[in-house]
Amino acid sequence: MTVAVLRLAGVTKTFRAPRGGGDVVALSGVDLDVREGEFLTVVGPSGCGKSTMLSLVAGFAQPTAGEVLFQGQPVLEPGPERGVMFQDYALFPWRTVMGNIEFGPYALGVGKAERRGRARELIQLVGLEGFEDRYPHELSGGMRQRCALARMLANNPTMWLMDEPLAAVDLQTRIILQDELLRLWGDGGSAKRSTVLFVTHGIDEAVLLADRVVVMARRPGRIKAIVDVNLPRPRAAQRSSPALAELVGRVWDLIRDEAVRAIAEETN
């Protein structure tokens, strides 16, 4: 039996509503086991608790009830073994590309020569050579996301926590970055893959990348279904396969009602 590298057991998270109101139950009784090296994507309507789930795993917040166990230990705070790439956890605008990527190792006390060397390797890996001294505002959206990816990888995390990392880039850039992300993860076969939790609104993207797609429902936020994606890897060659389209249809069927209800609630 393989041991779960990440386990959520009965995880509930409630927030006190602003201005009085009742509590918001962002997650309710979520159970999830993630195996080492698995690529999990998470989809669900706006407000179903996807970001909340990731921030609990990252250690930015604590569950109200239940447990989040990483390698068998409760997650109490952020740690270098869990790298994050969040859409709203943007780059430091006052640091260059190099400065942003070096920051994680710097914060851990890694010496200058070593962290420079590591940052250079990562810059090459994500294709940002020649842009080391640029500031985030001098980069395109796609380049910024490459930089954020390199920053996430800088401490060699065994778990990648990614919250809509490609939502802000155009479609062509997104496709290129999906392929690069898969390559970095080891889609073509690799000795040791990191474990990935990847939140997205793109159902095609969720299926293309994942070993399993977690479909969430809202009010209260919980797991509605988990869809196995038994497509061969590497996936780049699968983009237009009928098997992929069939799975996309299945995931969409699962979330359609939820999404329609979420929109109705937001507009009422």
Ligand X SMILES: Nc1ncnc2c1ncn2[C@@H]1O[C@H](COP(=O)(O)OP(=O)(O)OP(=O)(O)O)[C@@H](O)[C@H]1O
Q: How far is CA 232 from CA 15, 42, 158, 204, 217, in A?
A: 41, 20, 23, 16, 28
46 versus 156: smaller Cβ distance to ligand X: 46
Under rule CB under 6 A, residue 49 binds ligand X = yes
Under rule CB under 6 A, residue 51 binds ligand X = yes
Under rule CB under 5 A, residue 51 binds Mg ion = yes
Q: Smallest distance from the beta carbon of 163 to ligand X, in angstroms?
A: 7
Under rule CB under 5 A, residue 158 binds Mg ion = no
Under rule CB under 5 A, residue 155 binds Mg ion = no
131 versus 198: smaller Cβ distance to ligand X: 198
3-class SS of residue 61: coil
142 versus 221: smaller Cβ distance to ligand X: 221
Q: Quick one: how far is CA 153 from the chain centroid?
A: 13
**Binding to ligand X in span 18-37, by CB under 6 A:** 24, 26
Encoded tokens for 146: 């490459």
Under rule CB under 6 A, residue 203 binds ligand X = no
26 versus 196: smaller Cβ distance to ligand X: 26
**3-state DSSP percent of the chain in helix, strand and coil, to 5:** 40, 25, 40
- Residue closest to 40 by CA, chosen among 77, 91, 4, 72: 4
Would you say 207 and 247 are in contact if contact means Cβ atoms under 8 Å apart?
Answer: yes
List residues binding ligand X (CB under 6 A).
Answer: 15, 24, 26, 44, 46-52, 221
